[in-house]
Amino acid sequence: MAAVSAAALVAAAGWAPTAAFAQSAAPASTVTLDELVVEAPRERAPARPGAGTGASGPPGPSAPAAPTESTAEAEARRRLAATPGGTAVVDQRQLAGRADVSIADSLNIVPGVIATSFLGGNDQPKIHIRGSGLQSNPTERGILILQDGLPLNRADGSYIVGLIDPRMADFFEVYRGYTANRLGATVLGGAINFVSPTGSGSPGVETSVEGGSFGYVRTQVQGGARKDNLDAFVQYSYGQRDGYRAWDGSDRIIFNANAGAKINENISTRVFVGYTDLGFEVPGPLSWARMKAFPTQAAPGPIVVNGVATEAGPNAVRDKPRRDTEQARLGSRTTATFGANVLDLAVGFTHTDDTFRFPVGSGYRITDGGDFTTSLRYAYRPDAAAALPLFETTAMYVVGSAERTYANNLRGWRTTNFGSNTLDADTLSVWSGFNVPVDAFTISPAISYMRATRDNLDTWGNALRPTVNAVTGATGAVAATNTSFSRSYDAWNPSLALLYTFAPGNVAFAAVSRTYEAPTFDDLIEASGGTPNTSPTGFLTPNLKGQSAVTAETGFRGSHDRFTWDVVTYYSWLTNELIRTTNIAGALSTTNADRTTHFGIELGGSVRIADDLTARLTWTYQNFRFANDALYGDNRIAGAPQHFVNAALRYTVNPKLWVEGEVQWVPDGVPVDNANTLFTQGFAVVNLRSHYKYDATWSGFAEVRNLFNENYAVSSLTIGRAVRSDQAVFLPGDGRGLYAGVKARF
């Protein structure tokens, strides 16, 4: 996992205890202690409607009373609101009343971000921003994922999304598109930073327990304290789930801690440690007919009818695919402020041990390695009241190495190894930019440079690679070829943005930018030649190019009276887009598409209909297409819904109790294959929830998910061209579930 680099994520401002900024990645933030809270948590005043759909203010209809908004969160909202691009801040008020919260649940209320359940359970959703990372799973790319401003991505840009639990964050920040470049990102989609509570911002102890359908149980304990110029905070959570489907269980343990110190009036520092133990089963895809008839079953593999194999796909019942990942994180970040000049340094190390048992067609993939990150950021902020620094520059370097072993999967058991590699990667990014105020305008030119290497040393050393047949148990061998390679990538990425402030909190902006992303090792080497019943016979090592995009975007966000809004539209011209597809055995491969286009509209808004009734809406429109492609013409790119709607209506019964109805709606079918011959069907899922705050200590909630027990495909595999209409590619969403929980704060 990418080493920890908070500085690469933090622009700087002058030190001020009332504007302390914890672990935010927002421009011009510093590492200091939050403003000291000496009284009991206050009830937060009712949020203005709709805030929270963007970066302009606290959340609206998803905002029950809660402790006062932290200084860090308030500053994050102010600074992201001043950023000329797509940004958002989401806090725990917007997740209140929800059980079994995955990253998909927390991100689907943000316009422009699509997150859907994928491999099973809650711990491995598929996330993409503006189409970047759309087809990448089980290990993802296209987005920079951070915790407390420290990257979780490995040195090659890949990340494991299930390592993050959004319920353990105080709030999180979303940067869409080029706005993530200032954080050191070298991706097309953007960045998401999950910010933990601190001892000074969240003193005391909090514990929660929740549970419900499908064997779901989760508990969390956390506590923090501050004494003089020192603070500390510790969190622990455990969650498990049997799952809606057979072979769909999951469990996760997370421990996080951080400690901060104000060394003197100019220097502050914070240290972070973390550990995650994640495990989940993968029930696999079903054919459409099988999903509609019996959605809770695990994938049975091809079904022979009259001597013909139907419902082609992997056999999860026999092969028992599963992932087990452990990750340990250690890092520190120090800020030094001298007048208008701020230096921010972060270093860190992350170690990850990841075992993925794929179906027999891919076999076991075991990866064990570490990544080191260092970053240095400088900011010049002569106007201390300005939301953004006048000038800022970031340099981040990530280097990592991992040992990878491939082994055969015989009916769920690891047998003979058939490959081994040493994978070395490094990525350097340097970004510099200005934010020049001219009356009501802010002009923001910037440029970044990135360089990356991806080196694979084949350490197998044997003339043959063992094979296995999962049906008969027969073994064999094929000739081994050397898979070693050395690849390098570099790019210059300029951007120019203009922001106009109509009134406080009301802005319009336009920007044009270039972004670039190098492929990961999961794109560059993949086991190949397997079938639903036989093991791989070799490896694909495509000589892929990095993908790039030129994007023009414009947006308008603000509030008036009872309304708030956040609207962004963009058009991207992509070259060499990385297209990742799955075959009938479940094996993955990646190619470059020559030219593609991504057009989108990202809309978030809310309205206070009455003093006790509020509504919110998030609508994401996407039209991602090939451009005169030799294979797919101008077809839609598989896996992207054109419309994704999340809407809610909340009624506040009294100051202690609210109830809310929510609908998640995908009105049209989504192409499963790039040939556009097979589609999912649209769906609408309705959820009901309520939250009751008994007193300053106790609160509880109840929730019904999928109220009408809709049987639907929440996602699908993405393939080049469907071989049959009954191909097993559909992933069922959960059926109706009932949940409840209680929380106590002391």
Element (H, E) at 639: none
The 10s digit of each residue's pLDDT in 452-497 is 999 999 999 999 999 999 999 999 999 999 999 999 999 999 999 9
The 10s digit of each residue's pLDDT in 195-216 is 889 998 899 999 999 999 999 9
Percent helix, strand and coil across the chain, each rounded to 5? 5, 55, 40
Those residues whose C-beta lies under 8 Å from the C-beta of residue 95, and which sit 6 or more positions away, are 62, 101, 105, 106, 166, 167
What's the CA gap between 422 and 12, in Å, rounded? 38
- Maximum CA pair distance of the chain? 81
Residue 91 · residue 73 · CB < 8 Å: yes
CB atoms within 10 A of CB 508: 16
Q: How large a percentage of the chain has pLDDT more than 90?
A: 76
Residue 484 · residue 458 · CB < 8 Å: yes
- The values of phi and psi at residue 348, to 5°, are -175, 170
The 10s digit of each residue's pLDDT in 617-672 is 999 999 999 999 999 999 999 999 999 999 999 999 999 999 999 999 999 999 99
Residue 170 · residue 196 · CB < 8 Å: yes
The 10s digit of each residue's pLDDT in 211-256 is 999 999 999 999 999 999 999 999 999 999 999 999 999 999 999 9
Amino acid, res. 721: R
The mean-pLDDT minimum among 66-75, 78-87, 379-388 falls in 66-75
The 10s digit of each residue's pLDDT in 293-339 is 999 999 999 999 998 999 999 999 999 999 999 999 999 989 999 99
pLDDT of 240: 94
Of 127, 111, 101, the residue nearest 715 (C-alpha): 127
The pLDDT-based confidence of 527 (bands split at 50, 70, 90) is very high
The 10s digit of each residue's pLDDT in 16-26 is 333 334 566 66
Which residue's entry shows tokens 């934010």? 435
- For the record, the structure tokens of 474 come out as 């027969």
What's the CA gap between 80 and 445, in Å, rounded? 17
What's the CA gap between 426 and 419, in Å, rounded? 23
Of 352, 359, 343, the residue nearest 403 (C-alpha): 352
The pLDDT-based confidence of 46 (bands split at 50, 70, 90) is very low
pLDDT of 52: 40
The pLDDT-based confidence of 115 (bands split at 50, 70, 90) is confident
392 has pLDDT over 80: yes
CA distances, 267 to each of 127, 195, 344 (Å): 37, 21, 10
pLDDT of 137: 66
What's the CA gap between 14 and 266, in Å, rounded? 9
- For the record, the structure tokens of 603 come out as 């809309």
The 10s digit of each residue's pLDDT in 592-601 is 999 999 999 9
Element (H, E) at 76: helix 71-81
Residue 706 · residue 685 · CB < 8 Å: yes
What's the CA gap between 186 and 90, in Å, rounded? 23
CB atoms within 10 A of CB 98: 23
- For the record, the structure tokens of 663 come out as 């609908």
Residue 680 · residue 669 · CB < 8 Å: yes
Which residue's entry shows tokens 């030219």? 595
Average pLDDT of 580-585?
A: 82
pTM listed for this prediction: 0.91
The 10s digit of each residue's pLDDT in 538-574 is 999 999 999 999 999 999 999 999 999 999 999 999 9
pLDDT of 588: 81
The 10s digit of each residue's pLDDT in 151-166 is 889 999 999 988 888 8
